[in-house]
Structure 1
Amino acid sequence: MSAQQLWDSAASMLAATEKHPFLVGMVDGTLSNDSFKHYIVQDALYLVRDFAYCLRRLAESAGSEEDSKQLQASAIGAIEAEMMLHNSLFKEWDIISAEGAEQMPHTLLYTSYLKRVVATRSHKQGLAALLPCHWVYMHVGRKCLLKLREGLGECINRPPQFDAWIDMYGGDDVEGKVKAYIKLVDAECKVATADELKEMEEHFNMCCKLEHMFWDQASNQMEWPNLGGI
């Protein structure tokens, strides 16, 4: 099995994600600003608090110094490069910061799953669990949104902040980093047992579902239920 086979195993889910109303709405200008604001705050919490942590944990369990350095660099990138975009969006839309914000239900579900896999399963399985976040974003940005935007032409209703997001995740820099991560997964696939490969596929598919649900949450601006202060 290879990383490409992991991707192919989730083909139906990925096809659904390509047509997600949040993503399509970002391109055609129908996505509400409030939904996008909800998304960028939750995404900042996801990246800085937990995704970067998971990458650092994987760096500690890597089989070579080279792989460890690559994963450490990815953790730094999750905090610095992506947050540069988030911080600019916070400023433009007068969002104070993500500090003090609470992870909403699907954010917590996703990050808790990643942290559990990284902490309790093999290095291979941890890499597979984090792969959808890398690959789905590149695919959506480069293969879907850029093409859809080109097809629609100029959209006067699309805020420039949406274009900034599309340009970042559809850019060459993100693609290069994702391809480097895919190579790490490919190397582990080559030496994994049949049972490990099955579990890697299960984690990859689950995190593809969680990626989709993360955008559901933003579309619906989901929050925790009000249980009388409990």
Structure 2
Amino acid sequence: MAFSETLWQSIEGIFAKILEHPFLKGLTDGTLDEEAFRFYVVQDALYLRDFARGLAILGAKAPEDDWLIMFCEHAKNAIVVERALHESFFREWGLSDEEVYATPMAPTNLLYTSYLLRVAYERPFHEGVGAFLPCYWIYLEVGKALEAKGSPNPLYQRWIETYSSAEYESVVRQVIAAADKIAETLTDKQREAMRHHFVVTSKMEWMFWDMGYRKEGWAI
């Protein structure tokens, strides 16, 4: 069994809870409050800046040139390609870039991005890959699961189509393949450290959607 398969098995319960979350259910049946979706998209735009920085760090640490190129390209695409998706939403809502990027990070967003950047900076390359992989992989699997249902809301459908697309799947498969190749060189202890980060950030993926659903603010 490939190491990536064992990683996914370790979060099957978490993924099931993600699919059950009312934020995602609301995307497909169209009942999600659009204010919650807007809150989520703005926070996701803020998230992607730090996610891209973390990918650039992984690229710098990568022991193989192919992985250096891959993560640096993904860092660029996180800003250029996914920002284009976000900005298509912002135009419809009449939000300027200045308004979006002046928005404070919600507590969960700050927690998640801080964790990713700390792991990318401070921990070995393989642990960083373990921490960043759920954001790729869970979005793909969510996109595929939601694609089967579709959404009556064109904004939500556009989001679903982005993450269920063949283009996005190709990107995710590159990282999964890299994770498997990396794992071949690791000790059991190192693989367990990689799995630990994978599970932690998978939980944070659930928390991120929950943050959007609640339109989470600071309690003080």
- TM-score interval, smaller chain: over 0.9
Matched residue, 2:195: 201
Is 1:11 matched up with 2:12?
Answer: yes
- The aligned residue for residue 63 of structure 1 is 63
**Shift of residue 159, structure 1, vs aligned partner:** 2.4
Q: Which amino acid aligns with 1:215?
A: W
The one-letter amino acid paired with 2:27 is M
Distance 2:182 2:168 in 1: 22
* Matched residue SS, 2:218: coil
CA distance in 2: counterparts of 1:211 and 1:96, whole angstroms: 26
1:221 matched to 2:215? The reply is: yes
Q: TM-score, normalised by structure 1?
A: 0.92
Deviations 1:121-147 (A, max 9, x none): 1100000100000000000001x1011
Q: Report the equivalent of 1:178.
A: 172
Q: Deviations over 1:97-144 (max 9, x none)?
A: 3221111010001001111111111100000100000000000001x1
Aligned-partner SS, 1:103: coil
Q: TM-score, normalised by structure 2?
A: 0.96
Kindly report structure 1 stretches of 4+ aligned residues shifted beyond 3 Å: none
Structure 2: where are the runs of 5+ without partners?
A: none
Letter in 1 for 2:207: M
| 1:89 equivalent in structure 2 | 89
Aligned to 2:41: 40
* Separation of aligned partners in 2, 1:13 and 1:26: 19
Distance 2:197 2:65 in 1: 25
Q: Within 2, Cα distance between the matches of 1:24 and 1:11?
A: 18
Q: CA deviation at 1:96?
A: 2.1
Cα distance in 1 for partners of 2:90, 2:25 equals: 22
**Which residues of 2 match residues 112-127 of structure 1 at below 5 A?**
112-127=114-129
Provide the rounded CA distance (Å) in 2 between the counterparts of 1:18 and 1:179.
21
Counterpart in the other structure of 1:24: 25
SS in 1 for 2:217: coil
Report percent identity of matched pairs: 36
Structure 2 counterpart SS, 1:191: coil
1:160 to partner: Cα distance: 1.1
What is the deviation of 1:93? 1.2
Distance 1:196 1:146 in 2: 36
Aligned length: 217
In 1, Cα distance between equivalents of 2:64 and 2:161: 33
Please say if 1:128 is aligned against 2:122.
Answer: no
Q: Are 1:191 and 2:201 counterparts?
A: no
